[in-house]
Chains A and B, each alone.
Chain A
Amino acid sequence: MSARAPLKVLALHAAVLALLFAAQFALPPYHHTNVARIMVLAAYAIGYNVLLGYTGLMSLGHAMFFAAGMYGAGLPVYYLGVGAAGALGAGLAAGVVLAALFGLLALRTTGVAFLIVSLMFAQAFYLASLYFNEVTLGDQGFILSQRLAPLQAGGATLGFHEPAVKYNGALLLFAACLLVSLALRASPIGRVLIGIRENEERTRLLGYDSFRYKLLSLTISGGLAAAAGAMYALLFSYVGSTFASILFSIYPLLWTLLGGVGTTLGPLLGTGLMFYLVDLASGVTSAYLLAVGVALVLLVLWFPLGILGTVRARWLPWLP
């Protein structure tokens, strides 16, 4: 393998994006909103995968970055009437800052200790969102639709309640996150991150300050998650504490494991599959989280590479 992003890789990713774009004209309304949601959540999973798949650090606290983005975008809109662009920027900034601060503290630890630290910080964030519920409205949350001004683009008014705006907004976000992850993977920085994942001490002795690179990875990972959270608030109009809960930190882990850890397209696949699996299950029983539990156990026992990870190992070694 000599070129890092050969033509077939770019073609594959372009094809996926084109397919997603075309799908909006063929999907019935129910699935239309679902796919929009899946794309935003897949962006969240892509962020998670940067840390787990490419750097080898498992976190159970990514919900705090998603929620930072969500509150970072939602609160200014709700209380200050900020427009969509400003809100998106604020949400992204909130996530990046939080991730960097968290990294400075927590990256002295690694492995299981890092996992627990991330879990604890995320839990504290979640509890704080409940504690300050005069502002955040806690579990109940708040709706943005009345307060969010529609976009003005080239003379046309695009309201956020319109399905086309939701879908394409989600697609834009997903495309941006996908391309960021691909570019990172193909860059010299990406090579260092993979080296850290495979053998951190060796990477240090080959001339790389692993702490700095892990911090960078965590900041990007948190930033992508926050962008997804901010977009979710804007597109689906709801901001609430549940998105900061532990379950919401477990979801990207599950989606990434299912789709294929350390693959650029795995998060999309895993998110989509699991979304529909849970959707189906909740039609049958109120105990639909059972699907989550069973999936996790089966993946860990028999399918640790996930779908695209297995595809890459067996048939397509060029898959990034």
Chain B
Amino acid sequence: MAAVIPLLETESLGKRFGGLAAVNGVSLRVAEGEIRAVIGPNGAGKTTLVGMICGRLEPTSGRVRYGGRDITALRPWERLRQGIVYTFQVTSVFRGLSCYENVALPAQRRLMRGLAGRLALRESAIAERVQAALEAVGIADLAAQRADALAYGHQRLLELAMALATEPRILILDEPTQGLAEGEIERLCGLVRDIARRATVLLIEHNMPVVLALAGRVTVMDSGEIIAEGSPAEIERDPAVQRAYLGR
């Protein structure tokens, strides 16, 4: 039996802030092509964990492996170029710029090869990619609007468009449905399923119906550690999870 290397693997990853261990010895394995949900109560360490995966935070212990390679020392922008893309829990778009400009910045990255590519690019090449990303999330008609003039739900979609424009291999979504209305959540789920055909998805969520609908496997965290892992149905039934999180 051939062992398949997981796309993303953390090995006893930990982060201490002073005396507090926000993440403690987390070993996570995500296979290519799956949709993995990470759930847990507030303060469980989910955002800290993915922060270390995408490079925003430096771990105090442990390693991160990607496609078999140790990437613990890789800087955030280098990880992005490897295809590890993170969307923020609190939207972090470029508020003063138009939607087009917001998506153009990530979209142009792959086109910037060599000196010539950095000095001047055909804007039409970038515009194509921007258009594709905006259409994929359904806000192509808002391209000229300023990001801070958008409704909250549309800003979330803009974040997603920016992530798509980078051609991710693994897309990390940090509470993407937070603050969205019912219809918007449904549309987002459809989008995620679409994206999952081309990329691996790591999803932090509080919304249990979304998790049950989308995720292939679920990892449950509490107080910085993994307390359970399994299919959504298994997790729902797990007594430890019920105690820690679902409050039954």
Contact = CB atoms under 8 A, between A and B. Distances in A.
Most buried by B among A189, A195, A204, A205: A205
A205 B105 contact: no
A187 B123 CA distance: 9
Nearest to B130: A2
A263 B118 CA distance: 21
A272 B95 CA distance: 32
Contact of A1 (B54, B80, B88, B100): B100
Contacts of B81: 207
B127 A207 contact: no
A198 B56 contact: no
A202 B92 contact: yes
A279 interface: no
Most buried by A among B76, B92, B118: B76
B118 A191 contact: no
A109 interface: no
A191 B119 contact: no
Given A1-B144, A4-B123, A202 B77 contact: no
DSSP class of A's interface residues: helix, strand, loop or mixed? helix
Given A2-B127, A188-B121, A198 B95 contact: yes
B198 interface: no
B101 interface: yes
Contact of B109 (A1, A202, A207): A207
A195 B94 contact: yes
Contacts of A204: 75-77
Interface residues of A, number: 24
Given A195-B105, A203-B105, A205-B76, A188 B117 contact: yes
A191 B101 contact: yes
Nearest to B163: A206
A208 interface: yes
A184 to B, nearest CB: 9
A198 B96 contact: yes
Contacts of B155: none
B52 to A, nearest CB: 13
A268 to B, nearest CB: 24
A110 interface: no
A269 interface: no
Interface of A: 1-4, 186-189, 191-192, 194-195, 198-199, 201-210
Given A2-B124, A199-B94, A206-B77, 4 more contacts: A2-B100, A188-B119, A188-B120, A189-B119
| Interface pairs A-B: 9 shortest CB-CB | A207-B80, A198-B94, A207-B109, A206-B106, A195-B105, A204-B76, A202-B92, A207-B77, A209-B77
